[in-house]
Structure 1
Amino acid sequence: MSDVSSTTAAAASSTSATSYTYSSNAADIDWDALIEVAVAAKTAPADAIDVKITENETKIAAYEEMQDLLQGINDAATALRGSTGSTLDDDDVFADREAYLTSVGDVDAESAVVVTVDDDTDIGTYDLQILQLATVEKLSSAEYESNSEELGLAGSLTIALEDGEAVEFDITEDMSLAEIASTINGQSDTTGVQATVLKVSDDSYQLILSGTETGQEIVMSAGDGTDIAQALGITDENGDFANEIQAAQDAIITLDGITITRSSNTIDDVLDGVTFNLYQETGEDASISVEVSSDVTAIKEAIIALVDAYNAYREWAITQQEVSTSGTASDEATLFADSTLRSTNSSISDDLSTMIDSDSMALLGLSYDENNYLEYDESTLNAALLDDLDTVESLLTFKMDSSSNDIMLLRRNTSMPSELSLDITVDEDGTLTGVSVDGDTSLFTVDGSRIIGAEGSEYEGITLVFTGDESQTVDLTFSSGIAEQLFVTTDDVADEDDSILTDMIESLNDTNEDLEEKADDIRDRADTYEDMLTDRYAAYQAAIEEAESSLDYIEAILNLGND
């Protein structure tokens, strides 16, 4: 009996020592991390799109740099592409003219005359003598002790140049010498006469009247009251000028022995396109040789500018071909193996290899170095410009030769034929009526005196001007030199408005816009998904917290029974 009792007591003692506990890891759950992982999986495609957009932007930047550098070549080529046989000479450096002056005898040519020449002026050499410079007339008054004291003169004075408009000035007793000068200057634009007060010494002043136009005399007359001109000592009692400092006279020059007189020292109506600005007389025993010629300095600078533009592009192009140490494209070679870059480089190389007759860029002293940069020999270039300018022009420019002087080229396209024969017909009044090529009348249309390449034909973009009045067959030949070829290539590839690179850049930009829209849609959906997960996990959290609260309550109840 005692053993049973001992066992029961031990069991009871064991039961009273038991504690009821339940644990949960809900508080340790990182809900934000779960949401972040789930959302990241949804946005991963958008991240991949971002990478593609960045790649496209990098390529766009490279194409834009390529375009800028090619436009540099294009700009340099434009000046040298020429327009021989056409009316297209606005940017033609070969149409630039310069006057080269050479002293003959005891005269400093550069100090005696400045000669300016318009573009495309006829070339020639002329012998110039400057026998007399044109001058303005200058008159002085008597001397006065002050320029500011009242002179006490009252009357009127009429002043003008020969070809000017006369103005009558009222002079009052309270006016000083300075005030009279100011009054006259108020109408200088009308009269052509200016007045100044010259301080001769500390106590001596004179009024100076000067014409503003060379070769014209000052005309003065007195009005009512005091004869102001005589009172001032400008005229004498006979009305003649008392002190003429300088007489008005015309300029006198001889050009190739022909005497020419002009009222101005700026003479621009003797030779078309040539202006002489006279500064010193040569005398009859000396002269100046004036050679109107092509501006070889400008041509040389244009050629060097083309070399520099090509080398700038070449330097960039090399970076696009660089290989890393691992044998793959370097980080800078964005356009590595790009087909447009390859074809452009090939075309430019072909353009620089252009030959006209037997002449190549070697005529200009141009050659490649070991890295295919252009370099030039200045002595060779100078010799070519001075001794063989016509050949230089043919080698570089576009040129049209015509069997008739009645036709000129107004516009050309970028794929001019090497030759073209036009059968031109006019009516009995000499009016242009039709043009055919090998009997085909559909290739050109007629608009007044203009012959226009038909749209859709190989001659589209070509416009010729016919100035004749008889039906005739005109044979035309065209040649495209180095600069013309470079212009055409770079214009096709890099023109800002319509070119291969412009289209590619626009296409990539359009692609990026579509990709950005797609990435935005993905992220919008991910945002919605994130909101849904946040709400769902918040509900889970609330449910777990409620369950944990219930478990805590049950645990407490169970533990109460063991106390």
Structure 2
Amino acid sequence: MTTTTTIPPATVNTSGSTTYLTGTASGLDTASLISAAVAQKTAPADTLDAKVTANTTKITAYQSLQSLITGLSTSMSQLASTTYSSVSTTTNAFQAKAVSVTASNSAAGPDIAVSADSTAAASTYTVTVDQLAAAQKVASSAMASTTALGLAGAFTLNDALGSAQTVNVTADMTLSDVASAINAVSAQSGVSASLIQVGTGSYNLVLSGNDTNQAIATSAASGADVLASLGVTDASGGFVNTLQAAQPALVTIDGTQIAGDSNNLTDAVSGLSFSLLKTTAAGQSNTMTVSPDYSSVKTAITDFITAYNALRTFVTSNQAVGADGTPASGAVLFADPLLRDASQSLNAIIAGNSAAATGAFGNLADLGITLDSANQMSLSNQTTLDNALLGNLSQVSSLFQTSFTASDSSLKLLQNTSTSGFNFTLDVTTDASGALTSASVNGDSSLFTVSGNLIVGAPGGAYAGLSFALVATGDTSINVAIAPGFANQITAFASQYGDVNTGLVQQQITSLGTQDAAWTTSSQKIRSDAAAYQTTLVNKYAAMEQEVSAAKMLQTQINALLGGSTGG
């Protein structure tokens, strides 16, 4: 805080812990002189701060670009090959399956619900549910639930999937207490207990298996035979009153009956999971159809269109100029070489044909996808896309997915992060033990590095981004052909530019951040030095003002003395 007090003929100023004089004593505006001198010292820091602000704004723009490129990769990952890709996916939309179930009696609805994973085969099945799986239920004799039973003993209880648990009963326990004791260990035993009212004040203790198709086992452990006394078991240990026997689920699929312990079957047909809802009425059936999930493919394509248009809008806004011909205020990356290169690379992929395509669909336009005058993408003909998906899904898949062929099947392509196609002969040499020693193309062994069974394209070389695995039995030459699919080209492009760790955009963000840190350090040093310089000036001018003020005071005293003598 700065305070000012007027003490003729000077002004006392306090700034922090420093007090100094300015004003009328010398006739100089020393405060302005100090301010101007310090401003001159801090001017370079102001310039650095402005650069940091500009860089920060640019970093934010780059982060937006990075996010938009990642959005492209996310959409295309559902259409890219699950191998050979720069993104890690276990399945894609072309492998996804859809399942529909119709009942012959449509009014009754289907008896099953079914889901499919990517391994399920496209086919049609006839299914009937012959029997639902059920858990075993047994009951005691009817008795009061709140009267002490007078029984002291222990018994064990479990179903086939549980572990035998001991239930201890004391003479003061009621039927309700016994049920609670059984339920206390139900999670371990696999048997639960409940009380069912069968008359006024009269209840049955009902024991139920927690798992379907699993028999309940009991035995007396010590003391009174509690379960026999309750009428649950007879003298031989068998159940007296079985309400529901443990039974399996029975399903007939295309004439073959399959049994299962549960009403949820996961291994009846490979790739399919069944939930049995009810038994099928006599003379009725369910028709189950497994087919490619065309909607997933179409959704992935439309998601890509949306992601592409968002990126294109960003590029256009950063290329905009105002009415005066200068960059628009929001065009932070105007004429930015990285943005230009990314845009041109993407445009080349969009405009080109897929080298992997094997049928009638070689590019996006063949699927009814077009660009307008503003380079915005649209699905201008949905019928074209729908017909392509329904009639030639494999050909659509070949447009998007990279293909790989090798004259030796033991050569496996592990990854391809390149957007290019390749056709070359890989010459491999081994040592006496069969271990790989080199891999070359046209005699140049610097193009690949070898480590164990891995053959990796050298960074910066013609085959960068390729990695193979090979178990060789001797020197060999392998013809390799890689045709890049459209989706894999997009995901490789996104990895090259948008990867948050190694992408070109991230490299620029990191570089700007490093530059900002250095500029900020320099600015802080300049301002620290300027603050010290200000203190020096303050002390200098304060001392001057005090000397001038003292001189004027002495002059006044001398004049007064001289004037007094004259008057005498």
- Same fold flag (TM > 0.5): yes
Shift of 1:387: 2.5
State the superposition RMSD in angstroms.
Answer: 3.5
SS at match of 1:93: coil
Query: Within 5 A, what are the aligned runs for 1:213-232?
Result: 213-222=211-220, 227-232=225-230
Partner Cα separation in structure 2 for residue 242 and residue 467 of structure 1: 67
Partner Cα separation in structure 2 for residue 555 and residue 342 of structure 1: 81
Shift of 1:136: 1.0
Equivalent residue for 2:64? Answer: 65
Q: 1:295 to 1:181 in 2, by over 3 A?
A: same
Is this contact kept in 2: 1:109–1:288, CA < 8 A? no
Q: 1:511 to 1:398 in 2, by over 3 A?
A: same
Task: Identify which range, 469-478 or 529-538, moves more after superposition.
Answer: 469-478
Q: 1:89 to 1:547 in 2, by over 3 A?
A: closer
Q: Does 1:512 align with 2:512?
A: no
Q: 1:468 to 1:218 in 2, by over 3 A?
A: farther
- Consecutive unaligned residues of structure 1, counting only runs of 5 or more, are 1-23
Partner Cα separation in structure 1 for residue 475 and residue 87 of structure 2: 25
Partner Cα separation in structure 2 for residue 86 and residue 312 of structure 1: 23
Is this contact kept in 2: 1:70–1:494, CA < 8 A? yes
Equivalent residue for 2:319? Answer: 321
Counterpart residue type for residue 195 of structure 2: V
Equivalent residue for 1:489? Answer: 493
SS at match of 1:539: helix
Q: Does 1:411 align with 2:429?
A: no
SS at match of 1:297: helix
Q: Which of 246, 250, 253 is residue 251 of structure 2 equivalent to?
A: 253
Deviations, residues 251-278 of structure 1 (Å, cap 9, x unaligned):
2222332222222222223333332222
Equivalent residue for 2:40? Answer: 41
SS at match of 2:413: strand
Task: Identify which range, 403-412 or 389-398, moves more after superposition.
Answer: 403-412
Q: Does 1:266 align with 2:246?
A: no
Q: Which of 296, 304, 307 is residue 305 of structure 2 equivalent to?
A: 307
Deviations, residues 403-443 of structure 1 (Å, cap 9, x unaligned):
55544322223255432444668999998887664566665
Task: Identify which range, 25-34 or 427-436, moves more after superposition.
Answer: 427-436
Shift of 1:363: 3.7
Is this contact kept in 2: 1:425–1:435, CA < 8 A? yes
Equivalent residue for 1:149? Answer: 147
Shift of 1:210: 0.9
Is this contact kept in 2: 1:131–1:284, CA < 8 A? no
SS at match of 1:94: coil
Task: Identify which range, 272-281 or 57-66, moves more after superposition.
Answer: 272-281
Q: 1:34 to 1:243 in 2, by over 3 A?
A: same
Q: Does 1:462 align with 2:460?
A: no
Deviations, residues 91-145 of structure 1 (Å, cap 9, x unaligned):
542365334123252268975223333344454443333222211111122222x
Q: 1:387 to 1:55 in 2, by over 3 A?
A: same
Partner Cα separation in structure 2 for residue 274 and residue 423 of structure 1: 44
- Consecutive unaligned residues of structure 2, counting only runs of 5 or more, are 1-22
Q: Does 1:536 align with 2:540?
A: yes
Q: Does 1:212 align with 2:216?
A: no
Query: Within 5 A, what are the aligned runs for 1:3-22?
Result: none
Deviations, residues 293-345 of structure 1 (Å, cap 9, x unaligned):
43333333222222222222222222212222322112111112222222222
Q: 1:450 to 1:493 in 2, by over 3 A?
A: closer
Partner Cα separation in structure 1 for residue 486 and residue 459 of structure 2: 28
Is this contact kept in 2: 1:107–1:282, CA < 8 A? no
Is this contact kept in 2: 1:101–1:109, CA < 8 A? no
Shift of 1:79: 2.8
Partner Cα separation in structure 2 for residue 95 and residue 89 of structure 1: 16
Partner Cα separation in structure 2 for residue 199 and residue 558 of structure 1: 128
Counterpart residue type for residue 206 of structure 2: I
Is this contact kept in 1: 2:427–2:478, CA < 8 A? yes
Counterpart residue type for residue 346 of structure 2: I
Partner Cα separation in structure 1 for residue 449 and residue 535 of structure 2: 69
Counterpart residue type for residue 364 of structure 2: M
Query: Rg larger in 1 or in 2?
Result: 1
Equivalent residue for 2:28? Answer: 29
Q: Which of 520, 525, 541 is residue 521 of structure 1 equivalent to?
A: 525
Shift of 1:487: 1.9
Task: Identify which range, 325-334 or 151-160, moves more after superposition.
Answer: 151-160
Is this contact kept in 2: 1:138–1:210, CA < 8 A? yes
Equivalent residue for 1:82? Answer: 81
Task: Identify which range, 349-358 or 495-504, moves more after superposition.
Answer: 349-358
Partner Cα separation in structure 1 for residue 123 and residue 138 of structure 2: 42
Matched residues, percent identical?
33
Query: Within 5 A, what are the aligned runs for 1:86-97?
Result: 90-94=89-93, 96-97=95-96
Equivalent residue for 1:374? Answer: 377
Q: Which of 242, 249, 258 is residue 244 of structure 1 equivalent to?
A: 242
Equivalent residue for 1:161? Answer: 159
What is the TM-score when the length of structure 2 is the normalising length?
A: 0.83
Q: Does 1:282 align with 2:295?
A: no
SS at match of 1:80: coil
Q: Does 1:359 align with 2:359?
A: no
Q: Does 1:179 align with 2:177?
A: yes
SS at match of 1:139: strand
Counterpart residue type for residue 212 of structure 1: N
Q: Does 1:53 align with 2:52?
A: yes
Partner Cα separation in structure 2 for residue 516 and residue 65 of structure 1: 24
Q: Does 1:545 align with 2:549?
A: yes
Aligned pairs, how many? 539
Partner Cα separation in structure 1 for residue 365 and residue 32 of structure 2: 71
Partner Cα separation in structure 1 for residue 227 and residue 299 of structure 2: 59
Partner Cα separation in structure 2 for residue 294 and residue 468 of structure 1: 38
What is the TM-score when the length of structure 1 is the normalising length?
A: 0.83
Q: 1:485 to 1:462 in 2, by over 3 A?
A: closer
Is this contact kept in 2: 1:81–1:92, CA < 8 A? no
Equivalent residue for 1:342? Answer: 340
Equivalent residue for 1:330? Answer: 328
Shift of 1:32: 0.9
Shift of 1:548: 1.4
Task: Identify which range, 439-448 or 480-489, moves more after superposition.
Answer: 439-448
Deviations, residues 181-227 of structure 1 (Å, cap 9, x unaligned):
12222333443222111234553322111112222222344566655
